[in-house]
Amino acid sequence: MNALSHEVSKEQLIADFHVVVADAEALLKATANQGGEKLAEVRAKAEESLRIAKARMLDAQQALLLKTKEAARATDVYVHENPWNAIGAAVGLGVLLGFLLGRR
C-alpha cells in the first residue's frame, strides 16, 4: 500500500510540476521584451533550467508509466494463477467498503 501512495505522490508531483513549468514559461514570454543584459542572462539561465526540468519530468513520467504497466501485468498474472484468491480478496474488499459506506 505504501508503494501505491508513493506512486500517487509521484503522479501528483508530475502534475504540479507541469503547472510550474507552464507558469515559468509564461513568465519568460511576458518578460521577453524587457531590456537589460542582466535580465537577458537570467532569462537564458531560466530557459535552460526549464529545458532540463522538462527532460527530467519526461523521464519520470516514462518510468512511472513503465512501473504502472509492470504492476498491471503482475496483477494479471496473479489473478490468472490464483483466481479464487483474487475473488476472495475482491469480495472482502467489497464487504469492507460496503460496511464503511453504509455507516455514513
pLDDT for 92 equals 94
pLDDT in tens, 53-102: 788 888 888 888 899 999 999 999 988 999 999 899 999 999 999 999 99
Rounded Cα gap, residues 3 and 75, in angstroms: 14
Question: pLDDT class for 51, splitting at 50, 70, 90?
Answer: confident
Rounded Cα gap, residues 62 and 88, in angstroms: 33
Residues 6+ apart with CB under 8 A from 76: none
CA-only gyration radius of the chain, Å: 23
Determine the residue type at 59: D
DSSP3 helix / strand / coil % (the chain, rounded to 5) = 90, 0, 10
DSSP helix/strand/coil, 47 = helix
- Is the whole model's pTM more than 0.75, yes or no? no
User: Cell for 102?
Assistant: 453504509
More confident residue, 40 or 70: 70
Q: Say yes or no to pLDDT of 1 above 50.
A: no
